[in-house]
Amino acid sequence: MSNVLTEIKDNIATLTINKPEALNALNDQVLADIDDAMDALIKDEEVYVIIITGAGEKAFVAGADISQMKDFNAAEGKDFGLFGNQVFLKIENSPKPVIAAVNGFALGGGNELAMSCDIRIASSKAKFGQPEVGLGITPGFGGTQRLPRIVGAAKAKELILTARTIKADEALAIGLVNKVVEPEELMDEAVNMAKAIAANAQVAVRQSKACINRGLQTDITTGTAFEAEAFGICFATEDQKDAMTAFVEKRKLEGFKNK
């Protein structure tokens, strides 16, 4: 999968979209390669956290591949949207936390890819936007759904309906990204955050992510029921017994078994 490179180190996987000559644009093959790579990383028991980034200095993902899309008919456009959404839902619903390290342009499908990740860290040179209405289409890979959930409906409508591109500092101000760092610090920052997540009890980490995701789609009564179920599951793990015993005995836990 030359379109996608993966590297695993210290329980952290880095997935790099590797088409810098095309600003890492998403066509059907790139999406298929991301899908396959995510399948492998989700199954790999040695992977606790996944970082997604783009190759080169210019782009995270500059968008979907317009040269492929321009001659689509309505049915082909719908199928392409359904496929992109399937891939991005796999990222969003991955039991393992996913961090987007946004190194440059994150426009259209690139912004949608970043939003499907749990946490977004941006280079100060990154730019974000949903420019699709300027090309005669709507966002097609979840932009109309995730952007209002992240930044609120009014701001999402402003960005989508004006097709305006924003810089990293504005993305931080509206809550689209978690943190902005200098370009040379981006991957170190993403890895350090991934290490902080990987150092915790992974059953609890994954149950927490699942509770947040499920709760956002339902009412608080149902959401707290999900939480109570997850809370109970954790009490059946060795990690809970080990960590709480160490806490009560005032000693440092020497790491989790993740079971």
131: left (phi over 0), alpha (psi -120 to 50) or beta: alpha
Q: Which residues are catalytic?
A: 112, 132
Q: Which helix (H) or strand (E) holds 233?
A: helix 220-234
Which one-letter DSSP state was computed for residue 254?
Answer: -
Question: Residue 130 is encoded by which pair of tokens?
Answer: 């949903």
CA pair distance 18, 59, nearest whole angstrom: 10
Q: Which two tokens stand for residue 76?
A: 């082909």
The answer to whether the beta carbons of residues 53 and 17 sit under 8 Å apart is yes
